[in-house]
A and B are shown apart, each in its own frame.
Chain A
């Protein structure tokens, strides 16, 4: 079983003395949070797609300038909540200053695919959670799972285990509305025995779980927060 390497909390890494470590950590942070922030600005602050895209990038630039991550205090809030409150602060300042953004302020950080994010917004279920924290949480989990699924696929392919991922894809990832194929059906369509399907699925789920827990470390501010978030996600709380 190939387990992914254990990641450190991104907050810890953005405080590192090593410049390169800090840079990589910040990039990881942007990668984990840009979509939730973009969608949050669209849904909660009612920005149009262009405004939200610009504000998302500009927010990260200002976070770097103001050293927002290093100023995070785990005793006061969850990191996710802290970052959302920072976005609120940023955006209400923008509104107060009546500022209009120049385009592409922080585009060089990571290339952010706002078109995809916008497409996802259009696909989202009609129910937008009333609670802002819940809204941000859901987008945050979505981004987390998105990345874990992507990495699971890449890792399976790089090991030449495409079939393993396909079992997972058909059983756990397929559109829930379309119903679930049986192990026998999956076995038939992939030319595997049902026992192999069972084993593949168990192995993929185990690796997926490890990836989720690992990525979760990157986006939480402390061990306690990681534990609480993990328990909520994997203890039936979603």
Chain B
């Protein structure tokens, strides 16, 4: 027996983990790894397309990992939206590992994709698509609970996918099936304390994401929206995602978001930008009146 080098062992680890389907799919690569599962790239032999397959790494004795995966697939199946990957199938490998098949997303995580978008309006347009996706889930009674840039994939066409619904809380899911999850830095304080959360926990995470996306030199009006969304107290945040979207739309249209108290000079400047001609007319009028007064007084 020849000696197993470290690289030989690495290859054997991969060989032992490589999912072998009896038929239907040929696994061709690894798309990414999670805490207890790996996402593989595979060819769907019947439909001649590439798919992503999430496979539990090791079946545990009480089946927690498989149950969590199945639950995630069910939630994905319920969320039929262009920003959420569709599930095609789910099953168990001959060696006992649970898996589900989904659309393969060819994209990059949000932080890397955003680095290439220079203009603020482009970044805000991207953020609006994230808002729309999460708002859709909220309307179905599902809170994501682990929103962060690494869980958001941006495709080549600017398409946006909110991934990793494994930690989601669904109002139809029994209490004991709820998973404790979240990522420090993006997790709302009430979630960190292990309390029951609602949509506002996601709004907190979205506020944090917006702050990162807008950048340090973002306009104060945008930062005010981000700050309000990620307020420590849930009651101080926006109650619904639609409110966040409205605020950003106001900003885009040159109106002040309600979360932002505008200094007078900035207000004049904004009004000037928005209503260039009318503002000039008003100014001209004011000046004319002033001149008239002076003249009369003289």
Contact = CB atoms under 8 A, between A and B. Distances in A.
Interface stretch (B14-22, B142-150, B160-168): B14-22
Interface in A96-128: 119-120, 123-125
B6 interface: yes
B16 A138 contact: no
A121 to B, nearest CB: 9
B20 A206 contact: yes
Contacts, number: 87
Interface residues on chain B, size class: 20 to 34
Contacts of B94: 1, 206
Contacts of A175: 2, 5, 8
A208 interface: yes
Interface string A180-206: 000000000000000000000011011
A145 B4 contact: yes
Q: Which one of B13, B14, B95 has the highest number of Cβ atoms from chain A below 10 Å of its Cβ?
A: B13
Contact of A205 (B6, B20, B30, B33): B20
Interface residues of A, number: 38
A3 to B, nearest CB: 9
A209 B93 CA distance: 13
Contact of A145 (B2, B7, B9): B9
B116 interface: no
B236 to A, nearest CB: 40
Interface centre among B1, B2, B10, B57 (most CB of A within 10 A): B57
Interface stretch (A61-69, A74-82, A158-166, A228-236): A228-236
Interface string A134-176: 0000100110011001100000000000000000100111011
Interface centre among A119, A172, A203 (most CB of B within 10 A): A172
A172 B8 CA distance: 8
Contact of A236 (B9, B20, B38, B60): B38
B58 A231 contact: yes
Given A203-B20, A231-B58, 11 more contacts: A123-B5, A138-B6, A149-B1, A150-B1, A206-B94, A209-B16, A209-B17, A213-B58, A230-B57, A230-B58, A238-B9
The 5 A-B residue pairs whose C-beta atoms are closest, nearest first, are A202-B20, A235-B57, A172-B15, A209-B16, A230-B58
Interface of B: 1-18, 20, 30, 33, 36, 38, 57-58, 60-61, 94-95
Interface of A: 1, 119-120, 123-125, 138, 141-142, 145-146, 149-150, 168, 171-173, 175-177, 202-203, 205-206, 208-210, 212-213, 223, 227, 230-231, 233-236, 238
14 contacts: A119-B3, A123-B3, A124-B5, A146-B1, A172-B11, A203-B20, A206-B94, A209-B16, A209-B17, A210-B95, A223-B61, A230-B58, A231-B58, A236-B13
